[in-house]
C-alpha cells in the first residue's frame, strides 16, 4: 500500500475544524497549518541524516543534520500547507506547480512550474485534496522530470479513486494523509471531505 493515514488526536482535532462548514478562513488556515506539522513529521521520518561530531558544554557527542529537502506546492491549495513545511524543515527549497483541468479534454494542463534542483533531495509534494489523482499524478511526473527520485505526497484528504490512480501512475510515491475518505461525488468532490480547499483557505467561496 502506498498510503499512510496519520492517527493522532491533535490531527483529528484539526481535521474536524477543517471539515466544519462554519469554520472561516482564518481558523481554516490555522488548522491546515497545524495539521501539516503532523503530516511533515510523518513524511520526513526516514529522510537521510548527515552524522557529525559536536561538543556539548560537557563532552563530545554525535550531531545530525537533515539532507536536502525540496517541497513542491501544487497551486493553489498546496500553499495552505507551505508555511508549516518552511517552519519545520531546515533550508527547505521550494518549487511551485500550477495545474488546471482542460475543460475540453478533462486532462491536467500546466499553467506554471518553477522547480529548484532536486536530483539528490527528498521531495515533498503538497497537494491537500487527492480526488481523482490527476493533478497529483501530473505534479509527481513533473518533479521526476526535474530529477527527483525520492518523492512523498502530503495530502489532507484522499479518496479511494485518487489513491488507486496514484498507485497505477506512481507506485514508488508514498502518500501521507490525515484522512482517507469514502468516495467522490458526481462533481469530483471528496465526501465527506471539506469542500473546496482553495476556496476555503482564501475566502473565494
Ligand atoms: N479539490 C478540493 O478542493 N476539494 C475536493 O473535494 C476535491 C478536489
Mutate to test the pocket of ligand 1, among 189, 192, 205 (most ligand atoms within 8 A of CB): 189
Residue 119 contacts by C-beta under 8 Å, 6 or more apart in sequence? Answer: 147, 148, 149
For the chain, the average pLDDT equals: 96
105 is catalytic: yes
Q: Return phi, psi of residue 63, to 5°.
A: -120, 160
- The active-site residue out of 61, 102, 105, 186 is 105
Ligand 1 pocket (Cβ < 6 Å) reads 77, 129, 131, 189-190, 193, 196-198
Summarised one tens digit per residue, pLDDT across range 111-155 is: 999 999 999 999 999 999 999 999 999 999 999 999 999 999 999
Task: State percent of the chain over pLDDT 70.
Answer: 99
Tens digits of residue pLDDT in 153-192: 999 999 999 999 999 999 999 999 999 999 999 999 999 9
**Neighbour-count burial of 80, counting CB atoms closer than 10 A to its CB (0-12 exposed, 13-18 middle, 19+ buried):** buried
User: Treating both helix axes as pointing N-terminal to C-terminal, what angle do 134-145 and 160-169 enclose, rounded to 10 degrees?
Assistant: 30
**Is the pLDDT assigned to residue 102 strictly greater than 90?**
no
Cα–Cα distance, 16 to 41 (Å, whole number): 20
Q: What average pLDDT does the segment 188-203 reach?
A: 97
CA distances (Å), 133 to each of 94, 151, 159, 163, in order? 22, 15, 9, 7
pTM: 0.96
Fold of 3-48+65-202: Rossmann fold (3.40.50)
Q: Residue 1 pLDDT more than 80?
A: no
The full set of domain ranges for the chain reads: 3-48+65-202
- List 83, 161, 169, 199, catalytic entry: 199
Residue 24 neighbours by CB distance under 10 Å: 9
Q: Give the pLDDT score at 100.
A: 87
Q: Is the pLDDT of residue 32 over 90?
A: yes
Amino acid at each position: 500500500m502506498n498510503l499512510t493515514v496519520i492517527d493522532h488526536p491533535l490531527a483529528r482535532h484539526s481535521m474536524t475544524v477543517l471539515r466544519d462548514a462554519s469554520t472561516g478562513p482564518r481558523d481554516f488556515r490555522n488548522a491546515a497549518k497545524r495539521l501539516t506539522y503532523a503530516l511533515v513529521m510523518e513524511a520526513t521520518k526516514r529522510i537521510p541524516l548527515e552524522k557529525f561530531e559536536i561538543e556539548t558544554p560537557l563532552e563530545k557527542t554525535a550531531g545530525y543534520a537533515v539532507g536536502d529537502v525540496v517541497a513542491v506546492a501544487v497551486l493553489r491549495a498546496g500553499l495552505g500547507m507551505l508555511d508549516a513545511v518552511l517552519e519545520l524543515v531546515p533550508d527547505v527549497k521550494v518549487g511551485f506547480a500550477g495545474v488546471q483541468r482542460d475543460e475540453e479534454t478533462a486532462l491536467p494542463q500546466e499553467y506554471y512550474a518553477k522547480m529548484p534542483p532536486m536530483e539528490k533531495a527528498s521531495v515533498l509534494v503538497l497537494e491537500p485534496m487527492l480526488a481523482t489523482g490527476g493533478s497529483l499524478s501530473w505534479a509527481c511526473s513533473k518533479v521526476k522530470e526535474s530529477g527527483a527520485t525520492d518523492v512523498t505526497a502530503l495530502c489532507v484528504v484522499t479518496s479511494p479513486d485518487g489513491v488507486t490512480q496514484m498507485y497505477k501512475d506512481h507506485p514508488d510515491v508514498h502518500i501521507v494523509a490525515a484522512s482517507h475518505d469514502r468516495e467522490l461525488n458526481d462533481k469530483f468532490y471528496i465526501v465527506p471531505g471539506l469542500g473546496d480547499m482553495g476556496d476555503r483557505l482564501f475566502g473565494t467561496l
